[in-house]
Structures are given as structure tokens and as C-alpha cells.
A = this chain, B = another copy of it.
Amino acid sequence: MAIPIKVAESCSLPPSTDGKPDLRPVEGRDADEELAILAKALGHPARVQIIRLLVRRNACICGDIVDELPLAQSTVSQHLKVLKEAGLIRGEIDGPRVNYCVEPRVLRRLKALVGSL
């Protein structure tokens, strides 16, 4: 008998107001790899803080993030890059500034993956 692969939505916590449901499986090799990538990106206190900041305020200028953290500008930029490469955040160019915001879909995906454990 085929093992039934779980799909997301096993826990639709915050009633998830926006976006459509993510139908990709939350188990299997691909899901494991994805979860590992997302978890790794979150695996540093500074990056957790950044995500928290971006969730609280809807979006945030890079400079404001630098002000909130006790780290050099270049270091914050590196952390932002890690989060961006994992897909957790997005940066929109706004004049000379860059406005960062979380990717709700990916954050939801992370929650679904962790929830499946």
C-alpha cells in the first residue's frame, strides 16, 4: 500500500487570511531539503530578530534594520542576503533605499513544514 503523503494544511493556524493554500507535500526528500534550508536561514539570532522586525512592521528600510541590531551595516546586509536567498524575505528598491518585507507564502510554508514534524 502506498504511504499517504501528507499535504500542508494539517494545521492552518493563523487563519491564513491571504494567499491560496500551498498544496506541496510537507514530507519527502524535497520537503526535508526545503525545511533544512529554511531552518538554516533562521538558525542565527540576528536573522530571527530581523524576521520578527519585518513581521511586526509590515516592511522596513534596510537602514532601520541596521539601527535595531548591534551589528555593522555590512553584516546586516549579509544576513539579509541569507534570508533573501532562502526566500523568506524580499527587497524592493525604493529610490536609494531598499524596502524589505517578509514573503508570507514562504513563512507559511515554513510553519507548515515545522508543523508536520
Contact = CB atoms under 8 A, between A and B. Distances in A.
Contacts of A47: 36
A71 interface: no
Interface in A45-89: 45, 47-49, 51-52, 55
B111 A55 contact: no
A76 to B, nearest CB: 15
Number of this chain's copies in the complex: 2
A39 interface: yes
A40 interface: yes
Interface of A: 10-11, 13-14, 27, 29, 32-33, 35-37, 39-45, 47-49, 51-52, 55, 107, 110-111, 114-115, 117
Given A39-B42, A111-B115, 10 more contacts: A32-B48, A32-B52, A35-B48, A36-B43, A39-B39, A39-B48, A40-B44, A55-B117, A114-B114, A115-B115
